Amino acid sequence: MTMATTTIRIDIDTLPDHFDRSRPSVVAEVVEAALREGGIKADCSDLFSHLKIDLPTAQLAAASAVLADLQLI
């Protein structure tokens, strides 16, 4: 059985000031760690102009709460 996945993209230029926009790979690691700490099996990477977050669609609501806490959405 294939699990449905969701991809969230966040423009690096829109990151809040408490994130270092010049180090998107570090920001991706921080976001991924926060999601995993929240019990979300996510993969976060930086792709030139944005962060890409892949996660199971079933965990989208929980991921949204974590991303809101990080002031990303």
Complete DSSP assignment for 6-60: EEEEEEGGG--TTS-TT-HHHHHHHHHHHHHHTT---EEEEETTEEEEEEEGGGH
Dump pLDDT digits (tens) for 7-42: 999 999 999 999 999 999 999 999 999 999 999 999
Length of the chain: 73
What pTM, to 2 d.p., does this model score?
A: 0.90
Distance CA 12, CA 1 (A): 34
Give me the residue spans of the domains in the chain. Answer: 5-69
Q: What pLDDT score was predicted for residue 48?
A: 85
Per-residue pLDDT, 14? 94
Treating both helix axes as pointing N-terminal to C-terminal, what angle do 60-69 and 24-37 enclose, rounded to 10 degrees?
120
**5-69 has which fold?**
Ribosomal Protein S8; Chain: A, domain 1 (3.30.1370)
Q: What does the pLDDT read at residue 22?
A: 93
